[in-house]
A and B are shown apart, each in its own frame.
Chain A
Amino acid sequence: MSKHPIRHPAYRILICTALLIGSALLPPTIHGEETDADPPPSLPLLVKARRGDTPASIARRYLNDASKGWMIAEYNGMAAFSGGEPVLVPMAPFRPGGLTPDGYQTVPVLAYSDIGESSGQRRQVPRSAFDRQMRWLKTEGFVAITPSQLTDFMGFSGQLPRRSVLITFDTASLSLFEIGIPILKELGFTATVFAATNHVGDKKAMTWDQIKQLHRDGFTIGCRGRSGRSLTHRTKGQTFEDYFKSVEAELRLARQTIQTHLDAPCLFLAYPQGDADSLVSAVAAKLGFSAAFLLRPGDNPFFADRYGIHRTRIGRGMNMERFGQSLTTRIKADLN
């Protein structure tokens, strides 16, 4: 006599397997997770560190970006893992605006006019000084960021490494391309070059091919107008309307030229001569620039004016002590 199928061992194993698979796959609400409260926003991922893991390797594995290792290190309060310990991987910014109990973050923006050999022009920072400054930044743990990262930070949507710095150049010169850029590349730093479009291709200036090369290499190309002349002064006898039209044309055409050559949006402006008034800032905003940079020292917390970002000019005579002082990254305030 054959057994009833429900008593057949294979049948029982089948049912148990099905129940096990089902319980594993059931949605969270069924196996006792919270149902009445709002879901917590972007909870971190809980993972187990492997032997030899570093913050960068964990960031590469779970965030697809090794450069976000600082987030793993900062969130877990540790820079090395022995293996087996629980590690929390933040899936969203956990410190927007750089706010901490003892203050808030400010991003130093360095403005170099140009880089050259030691016997170069007055506005050029010598190769040796530039090299020393960049190596100092590296040693001190600074991370060079892009202007897009800065605007995300200022929009209170992104967060930056605690020691972030934005490096900018106001001249797209050949000597920058040949001397400054290789130093930056060697150290893994990115930077932003603001080009005055009328001067691209001039003698001792970069060509469009070289600018495109920089863009492909991950450097940001910004705009400094067509001629690089100041936009805050009317010329003699010029009406207000003519003055406005000249400002608008200077910025619009320069932006268009860069976009055409790079086939990518040009989102950042360095005000020619580092100076702006409210009309020039408003024109820049209306034309679609995401942010614009002055040439005035000052702090850049997340709530600073995106169309008046401060930059500290780094001149050829600046010693390392003053250079270090220009890199404030934290403003103390009691935010407890």
Chain B
Amino acid sequence: MRHWLPALALMATVTLCGCAGMVDSVSDFMRAGPWWTAAQAGTISSRARELEAHGELSKALDHWRMVDRITVDHAAVRREIARIQSRIAEAVNVHYQNGLAELGKKNQTAARNHFLAALRLDPAFQPALIQINARFSTFPLAARLSAPGDRPSTVAEKVFDDKEKAFLVAWFNDLPVDEVMTPDTLLILPKLEKTPPQKAHTKKPPNRLAEANARLAENDLDGALAIVEQADPDDPDVKAMLHAIRLKQATTQIEAGRPEAARPYLAMVPDGFAGKDAALEALQAALQRQQTSLVLEKARAHFDQGEYRQSLDLLETLQKDGPENIAARDLAAEARYRLALDHFDHQRFLEARDVLKKADESHEASMALKETVRARLLELAQIHYRNGVKHFINEDLKSAITDWEKALICNPDHEKARENIDNARRLMQKVETLP
């Protein structure tokens, strides 16, 4: 029995070590087990590249992380992971800084879209979320710290310009109305409008324009329009308000990505009306973006159906018009790679080389394929060269030249082939000139 003690002790130790990380490691082992084939890792890598080409960097990153778990080539996969992480970090920072810059220029929509873009790439990026919440997402309550000696009435006077509203301060903070608060007490207060709620049954005629203006400020365009339509249509102020509403309707449609719907509203606003020129410019820009987006969609559709040539043609046109279009650039890089890979798989190495001439150097898979194609063409050049030599020895000069020319096409730097062609041609001329 004593002979078995070391074995039992070893088993117990190994089992205890295992148990320390059992739950995670069992599932890890199951995932990284030998039943995941290279082809399956290839499928996920392929999907990761496709996602990256569609601008879905976070999802692409997750896919690469999964590949890392099941592949044997960790180094290459981890390079991809590091590259995408770096791309995300860089893009998030650029968007955030651009958002701040647009805020400085008071371009609210552009700023918001930059912050949203940063959040899309990295949902955990708190500075962008804080900007969105603070500037673009309203909340009916605000926080404030009490000063030494503050009572609900003094706070009400400071915040609402009306100490009679002390009951509001007390109610919202579960405090007695007339007690001094501890300094630095966190107070929750309603964000009241500057003007008190309008009393019902007032004798004064309602100021429709002011009401409409308030609705317009709240972005309640239907409400504002309904009020204005009841006012005197010949009043110049009413007309101006109507134009302002139409203009707002148009800009709302433009911002919502529906430029065509904005046209009829803009047509109702007379030329020269303040803001119309800017809205027209925004409309043109939106139409341009829409057109770009349509072409991009079409390119994506071709790409998804494996029609990489058609996809690439469209994307290259887009890139000519707007080299800064990142989505087009990424999709083009992936389409170019897929097209070249298709040529390579069908042994059309020259076509693959032509396609890869414009390959993006940051697209690692394309660069690797380019190298493989180059190596294959060098081999082919060598085969053609040797065939040429055989023909030459057999005194078939025409066939020899044809093969050496093929060798030169495969490898334009093949100096021997070039020299041999010249020599063979000179020899042919001599033979022809012999009496």
Number of A residues with CB within 8 Å of any CB on chain B: 78
> How far is it, in angstroms, between the C-alpha of A335 and the C-alpha of B10 when the chains are bound?
58
> How far is it, in angstroms, between the C-alpha of A296 and the C-alpha of B31 when the chains are bound?
51
> How far is it, in angstroms, between the C-alpha of A44 and the C-alpha of B20 when the chains are bound?
23
> In chain B between 81 and 137, which residues have their CB closer than 8 angstroms to a CB of chain A?
112-113, 116-117, 119-120, 123-124, 129, 132-133, 136-137
Question: Are the C-beta atoms of B7 and A15 separated by less than 8 Å?
Answer: yes
Residues of B within 8 A of A240 (CB): 164-165, 196-197
> In chain A between 54 and 75, which residues have their CB closer than 8 angstroms to a CB of chain B?
75
Given A25-B18, A279-B190, A235 and B327 contact (CB-CB distance below 8 Å)? no
> How far is it, in angstroms, between the C-alpha of A93 and the C-alpha of B62 when the chains are bound?
13
Question: Are the C-beta atoms of B28 and A85 separated by less than 8 Å?
Answer: no
Residues of A within 8 A of B63 (CB): 88
A79: Cβ under 8 A from any B Cβ: no
Proximity string of chain A (285-312) to chain B, C-beta cutoff 8 Å, 1 when within and 0 when not: 1100000000011110001111110000
Given A281-B140, A334-B289, A27 and B24 contact (CB-CB distance below 8 Å)? yes
Pick from B144-152, B167-175, B205-213 the stretch touching chain A: B167-175
Question: Are the C-beta atoms of A236 and B200 separated by less than 8 Å?
Answer: yes
> Among the listed A26, A85, A99, A305, which residue makes an inter-chain contact with B139, where contact means beta carbons less than 8 Å apart?
A305
> How far is it, in angstroms, between the C-alpha of A29 and the C-alpha of B117 when the chains are bound?
35
Question: Are the C-beta atoms of A27 and B62 separated by less than 8 Å?
Answer: no
Residues of B within 8 A of A52 (CB): none
Question: Are the C-beta atoms of B193 and A296 separated by less than 8 Å?
Answer: no
A46: Cβ under 8 A from any B Cβ: yes
A40: Cβ under 8 A from any B Cβ: yes
B11: Cβ under 8 A from any A Cβ: yes
Pick from A122-130, A206-214, A241-249 the stretch touching chain B: A241-249
> In chain B between 395 and 434, which residues have their CB closer than 8 angstroms to a CB of chain A?
none
> In chain A between 266 and 289, which residues have their CB closer than 8 angstroms to a CB of chain B?
277-279, 281-286
B314: Cβ under 8 A from any A Cβ: no
Given A233-B200, A236-B200, A101 and B19 contact (CB-CB distance below 8 Å)? no
A136: Cβ under 8 A from any B Cβ: no
Question: Are the C-beta atoms of A232 and B141 separated by less than 8 Å?
Answer: no
Question: Are the C-beta atoms of B66 and A46 separated by less than 8 Å?
Answer: yes
Question: Are the C-beta atoms of B116 and A244 separated by less than 8 Å?
Answer: no
Proximity string of chain A (305-336) to chain B, C-beta cutoff 8 Å, 1 when within and 0 when not: 11110000000000000000000101111111
> How far is it, in angstroms, between the C-alpha of A86 and the C-alpha of B220 when the chains are bound?
49
A9: Cβ under 8 A from any B Cβ: no
> Among the listed B116, B133, B165, B222, which residue makes an inter-chain contact with A296, where contact means beta carbons less than 8 Å apart?
B222
B362: Cβ under 8 A from any A Cβ: no
Given A332-B256, A334-B113, A24 and B10 contact (CB-CB distance below 8 Å)? no
Question: Are the C-beta atoms of A336 and B28 separated by less than 8 Å?
Answer: no
CB distance from B333 to the nearest CB of A (A): 14
> How far is it, in angstroms, between the C-alpha of A285 and the C-alpha of B28 when the chains are bound?
45
Question: Are the C-beta atoms of B167 and A241 separated by less than 8 Å?
Answer: yes
> In chain B between 222 and 260, which residues have their CB closer than 8 angstroms to a CB of chain A?
222-223, 255-258
Given A285-B141, A336-B55, A100 and B120 contact (CB-CB distance below 8 Å)? yes
Question: Are the C-beta atoms of B327 and A282 separated by less than 8 Å?
Answer: no
Residues of A within 8 A of B191 (CB): 278, 282
A182: Cβ under 8 A from any B Cβ: no
Interface residues on B, range: 35 or more
Given A243-B197, A305-B139: 7 more A-B contacts, CB < 8 Å: A15-B7, A22-B14, A24-B29, A46-B44, A156-B119, A156-B123, A278-B191
Question: Are the C-beta atoms of A30 and B43 separated by less than 8 Å?
Answer: no
> How far is it, in angstroms, between the C-alpha of A115 and the C-alpha of B4 when the chains are bound?
81
> Among the listed B18, B257, B290, which residue makes an inter-chain contact with A21, where contact means beta carbons less than 8 Å apart?
B18
Q: A21, A29, A336: which has the most chain B beta carbons within 10 Å?
A: A336
Residues of B within 8 A of A31 (CB): 25, 28
CB distance from B261 to the nearest CB of A (A): 10
> How far is it, in angstroms, between the C-alpha of A33 and the C-alpha of B116 when the chains are bound?
33
Question: Are the C-beta atoms of B190 and A283 separated by less than 8 Å?
Answer: yes
Question: Are the C-beta atoms of B24 and A28 separated by less than 8 Å?
Answer: yes
Question: Are the C-beta atoms of B219 and A282 separated by less than 8 Å?
Answer: no
B40: Cβ under 8 A from any A Cβ: yes
- A contacts, CB < 8 Å to B: 5, 11, 14-15, 18-19, 21-22, 24-31, 33, 40-41, 43-46, 48, 75-77, 85-86, 88, 93-94, 96-97, 99-104, 156, 232-236, 240-241, 243-244, 248, 277-279, 281-286, 296-299, 303-308, 328, 330-336
Residues of B within 8 A of A85 (CB): 40, 43
A and B contact pairs by CB, cutoff 8 A, 26 listed: A5-B4, A18-B11, A21-B18, A22-B14, A24-B18, A24-B25, A24-B26, A26-B17, A28-B28, A43-B66, A46-B66, A85-B40, A101-B55, A101-B327, A156-B119, A234-B199, A236-B201, A244-B168, A278-B193, A285-B140, A296-B223, A297-B222, A298-B219, A307-B139, A332-B257, A335-B116
- B172 — nearest CB in chain A belongs to which residue? A286
Q: A96, A286, A297: which has the most chain B beta carbons within 10 Å?
A: A286
B320: Cβ under 8 A from any A Cβ: no
Given A283-B190, A285-B140, A297-B222, A25 and B19 contact (CB-CB distance below 8 Å)? yes
B326: Cβ under 8 A from any A Cβ: yes
Residues of A within 8 A of B50 (CB): 77
CB-CB nearest 7 A-B residue pairs: A27-B21, A332-B257, A25-B18, A282-B190, A22-B14, A101-B55, A99-B120
B363: Cβ under 8 A from any A Cβ: no
